Amino acid sequence: MKKVLIVDDAADSRLLFKKLLEKYPVEILEAKDGKEAWDIILKEQPHLVLLDIHMPNKDGFELLEDLKEEWISIPVAVVSNDDEAITIESSFYLGAQAFLKKPIDLKEFKDVIRVLNLPEQNTSYWG
């Protein structure tokens, strides 16, 4: 089973992503900051990281730098309220493959998840 790591210091954001990912056959991992995320990345080797930028201990930019320095190539989608040009440019420069603005656009989110080649599971009783 593929693994998706959600990295965000806001519990409500992590919960939202967990709800959005319920439709997919994935194992969901969570971290509240970049330091915790780094440990999970090394141990669990996730297939996709949904990464907030502004967090305590180690922010998203620092985590992207660590991934780049260690040549760890995991698709990363930055998810942030901060949509200033410098933030977006820096995210891509440091190796992010996508940038999603909060609040999340469902179509853009599905496009990011397609990286995993996962079928959406029907959760409706009516087919």
Is 123 contained in some domain?
Answer: no
Strands across the sheet with 26-31, in order? 26-31, 2-7, 48-51, 76-80, 98-101
Is 117 contained in some domain?
Answer: no
End-to-end CA distance of the chain: 24
Domain carrying residue 107? 2-112
Please state, for a pLDDT cut of 70, what percent of the chain lies above it: 92
How do residues 91-120 score in pLDDT, each as one tens digit?
999 999 999 999 999 999 998 888 777 666
pTM given for the model = 0.91
Is 74 contained in some domain?
Answer: yes
CATH number at 83 reads: 3.40.50.2300
- For the chain, what is the mean pLDDT? 91
Is 118 contained in some domain?
Answer: no
Is 120 contained in some domain?
Answer: no
Q: What is the pLDDT of residue 90?
A: 97
Q: Which amino acid is at 20?
A: L
User: How many domains in the chain?
Assistant: 1
Torsion region of 43: left, alpha or beta (phi above 0 gives left; psi -120 to 50 gives alpha): alpha
Higher pLDDT among residues 50 and 23, named by residue: 50
Is the pLDDT at 122 greater than 70? The verdict is: no
User: Is residue 111 within a helix (H) or strand (E), and if so which, with residue range?
Assistant: helix 106-113
Task: Out of 62-66, 87-91, 102-106, pick the least confident.
Answer: 102-106
The crossing angle, in degrees rounded to 10, of helices 34-44 and 60-69 is 30
Is 124 contained in some domain?
Answer: no
Is 126 contained in some domain?
Answer: no
Q: What is the pLDDT of residue 119?
A: 62
Higher pLDDT among residues 115 and 26, named by residue: 26
Is 14 contained in some domain?
Answer: yes
Q: How wide is the angle at C-alpha 115 spanned by C-alphas 80 and 58, nearest 5°?
A: 35
Q: Which long-range contacts (CB under 8 A, 24 or more apart) does 102-107 make?
A: 102/13, 104/16, 104/20, 104/79, 106/20
CA distance 82 to 114: 24
